[in-house]
Chains A and B, each alone.
Chain A
Amino acid sequence: MKTVSSLLDSHWYERYKRISQLNIRSSIYDVTNRCNLRCKGCFFFSSGEDKVAREETDPNKWAAFVDEEKERGVNLAILIGGEPTLCFDRIEAFYRRMPTYCATNGLIKVPRDRFPDMMVGISLWGDEDDEKRLRGKNTFRISSSNYEGDPHTYYLYTITPNQMGRTEKIIRKIRDAGLKVHMQLLSNDEAVDGFSWRQEELDDLRAEMDEMLDSYPDTVISSKYYHHVITTGKMLGREFGWRECPSVTEPLDNRDPKPRRLIHFIRWASDLETVHRCCTSATRDCSTCKDGAAHMSWIMVNKRAHMRSAEDLQNWIEVYEMFAKLYQFLPW
């Protein structure tokens, strides 16, 4: 029987042991249905998720809800929206109770006196031209000013086909702002012309992502194996899709056979009662989904499948470390 120590040398084994102790159980929460932007391609609005539930506005109910989530075993709250920073009292209900990550467009600054070490992930959809085209304004100018040098903040850079060959300029700007960056790919839910991926573009993009990681290792939080999996949609010969996705809301998951999945994962709507199908849009074709967290999780829940060889297991470790860094379970 292959064991971890038979596959890894002492350096990798120590890295493995550091993460094998982590038992991360995340769920995702829509904090609000409102946003101060309306981006083309944002799944939340394009699939009408802003209309499925009325927001709960009572802070006490949010606090009680988070207590119940903690009781359910959740130890990482991932706050999305709408735009969570429109509702700091709701964010605080999470932050006071468990490790919390807040996704934001960065236009409103999270007050660090109130949330000193909450991880903030700023969405970025490209350079100035693409940001204006897709989001109506150049958000980077404002967000980088709000968060310059913040050690608990990174950019979640959603790369579009239009960004091919132009990622370095953005990554340099992020580096110069003293921030980190993690990359994922646009799924183009609203079929914006010219923003859907072709496989040959994805092959080139993978090489470009690898090059960025090699050139800016202190800025880019990523791994080459993650680049491979997200650009090909393949892992160990298996294809990403509905049958494989780990990020399906557990009470709605009636797949048979049951795939490996995130234990107790639920994506909650802002009424604190309604649940969404998965971590992204229920109208999305899963075979074309490029969600970064879903692909990372897909790798992470398949640990034993990566015990075929030392290289496979090292790839798995690097992806797990990347995830743990992005959510502050490990330092940068």
Chain B
Amino acid sequence: MQQELTTEETIEGVAKIIIDELKLEDVTPQTFDPDLDLIDEVGVDSMDLATVALVLQDEYGVSIDEDDYPKLKSLRLIAEYVLAHAPVKS
């Protein structure tokens, strides 16, 4: 049986995806504040979120509804969304 991911592990995984996909500089998955507002502070827009969503789908098997983008304002909220919507592993 595969071990379930923790919130902290998922936050770090999402951080890595966002840093890689959006080519963010001067930040690592470890130093990325999980509660930093991605829209108001990092300048992430809906096209960025669409790009990230595709990779999250590949990585975690989670399909993110476009209507949910406005809710995904921080790493923590994205990680919680991923964990809540991830397919159950057997």
Chain A positions within 8 Å of B, measured between CB atoms, are: 1-5, 16-17, 20, 23, 73, 260-261, 263, 301, 303-304, 307
Complex: chain B residue closest to A73, CB-CB: B66
Partner of B36, one of A3, A20, A73: A3
Per-position 1/0 for B24-43, Cβ under 8 A of A: 11110000100010011111
Chain B interface size range: 20 to 34
Complex: chain A residue closest to B31, CB-CB: A1
Known: A263-B46, A303-B45, A304-B44. A20 touches B24 (CB 8 A): no
Complex: chain B residue closest to A246, CB-CB: B47
Report the Cα distance A87→B51, complex, angstroms: 39
Known: A2-B26, A5-B41. A304 touches B48 (CB 8 A): yes
Report the Cα distance A229→B32, complex, angstroms: 34
Known: A23-B70, A73-B66, A304-B22. A4 touches B40 (CB 8 A): yes
Number of A-B contacts (CB under 8 A): 40
Q: In the complex, how many angstroms separate the beta carbon of B85 from the nearest chain A beta carbon?
A: 20
Query: Quick check: is B50 within 8 A (CB to CB) of the other chain?
Result: yes
Partner of B24, one of A1, A16, A303: A1
Q: Are B40 and A17 in contact (CB under 8 A)?
A: yes
Q: Are B43 and A23 in contact (CB under 8 A)?
A: no
Q: In the complex, how many angstroms separate the beta carbon of B40 from the nearest chain A beta carbon?
A: 6
Q: Are A20 and B27 in contact (CB under 8 A)?
A: no
Residues of A within 8 A of B70 (CB): 23
Report the Cα distance A141→B71, complex, angstroms: 50
Report the Cα distance A307→B45, complex, angstroms: 13
Q: Are B50 and A4 in contact (CB under 8 A)?
A: no
Q: Are B40 and A260 in contact (CB under 8 A)?
A: no
